[in-house]
Amino acid sequence: MNDSYIFAGPSLFGLDCNQYPGITFLGPVKFGDLPALVKAGARKIGIVDGCFETVAPVRHKEIVACIEHGVEIFGSSSMGALRAAECAAFGMCGVGEVYRQYADGTRVEDGDVAMMHGPVEMGYIPLTIPLVDLDHALWMCAGREELDQARHAAVMKRLGCIDYRERDLGAVLDCLGDDPRLRENLAHTLSVPARSLKTLDALALLQEMCRPSSGSLLAPGRGVICSPRGRPRASYRP
């Protein structure tokens, strides 16, 4: 029986879970899920996506209680990145670029990771685009000299004014104005799941969870920062 679990939804849409036979995949985490796994004998838990708004979100006390029971808790991408930044001092391990941005204060708004997605029957298919993915995609376009820093900031400000429930590809492209080259390249970038920053960070979290366990509690503040390609580049202590 597996003793490693991961809570994920749209951030790992389309993933072949058979690549990770030692991990049990569950849907987005919600309040009450973690204590149940501890009782079931979990030793490692990864949090990527989580419920909020209509369902009570996972609470910090639940995470700390798991750590006190000797369970290794990892977080990345979305709700996991938020909670990892908030609970790093208690031993939660944050993974990835989204985690880094929240941990060092570069990003502060919880809503930057919010998005709409389909139900479990549809594999949690993404329906709208979170700001963290848009920010990352725009920087990729900037790397191709299609967007300078000032315009990047202006576009992100306009995108931030769109409710996360309505921020689909059409709404995003409307914010770009009359720039067919940028519209085309951004649409292409966003159409490739492997270029999603949330997805890259989630895959990095899976890699971390597949490493042999240290057999002890995580050191407070432990974290792993990953490059935009999802490869670990340095340890991090906020």
**Segment-wise mean pLDDT, segments of 10 residues, the chain, 238 residues:** 91 90 95 94 96 92 96 96 96 95 95 96 95 93 72 90 95 86 88 86 94 56 49 34
Paired sense of beta strands 223-226 and 232-235, if any: antiparallel
The predicted structure's pLDDT at residue 40: 92
CB–CB of 98/227 below 8 Å?
no
Concatenated DSSP letters for 35-103?
A: HHHHHTT-SEEEE--B--SSSPPPPHHHHHHHHHTT-EEEEETTHHHHHHHHHGGGT-EEESHHHHHHH
The predicted structure's pLDDT at residue 135: 94
CB–CB of 112/131 below 8 Å?
yes
The predicted structure's pLDDT at residue 1: 59
pTM here?
0.88
The predicted structure's pLDDT at residue 4: 95
Q: How far apart are CA 179 and CA 65, in angstroms?
A: 51
The predicted structure's pLDDT at residue 236: 31
Length of the chain: 238
